[in-house]
Amino acid sequence: TLSCDKYHFKPSLRQDMEGADLIISHAGAGSIMEGMELCTAANKSCGRQKKKLVVVTNAALMHGHQSELADALEARGHLYVVRDPRELLQEDTLRRIEAFDQVPFEGGDGGKDF
């Protein structure tokens, strides 16, 4: 079952993100880091993959800088990237997200270059 909430402004989304099994976010650095932190903590506490992070990049924003970070973290398995929000309406995308096995984010880049 899919349940969605929307609002124009909310001072913090943390409570909503903590209660969600699937976090869909824009690909801003702060949102990505908070989402990965929450997913890692939730999945460690229950011993299984309970929470996943999907980010939607905006290629038109500041020369596509969101894609660089999102692509690097997706390559490491920490999140799933969607390039166009309309992809979220496609059944094959939803199946890929469901099958996605998110790797916990432990911080740092493990000595790997982006």
Q: Convert the pLDDT of each residue in 21-64 to its tens digit.
A: 999 999 999 999 999 999 999 888 876 668 999 999 987 776 67
Neighbouring residues of 49: CB distance < 8 A, sequence distance ≥ 6: 43, 101, 102
What is the 3-state composition of the chain as percent helix, strand, coil, each rounded to the nearest 5?
45, 10, 45
Q: Which of 7 and 57 is assigned the larger pLDDT?
A: 57
- Pair of tokens at residue 30: 């702060």
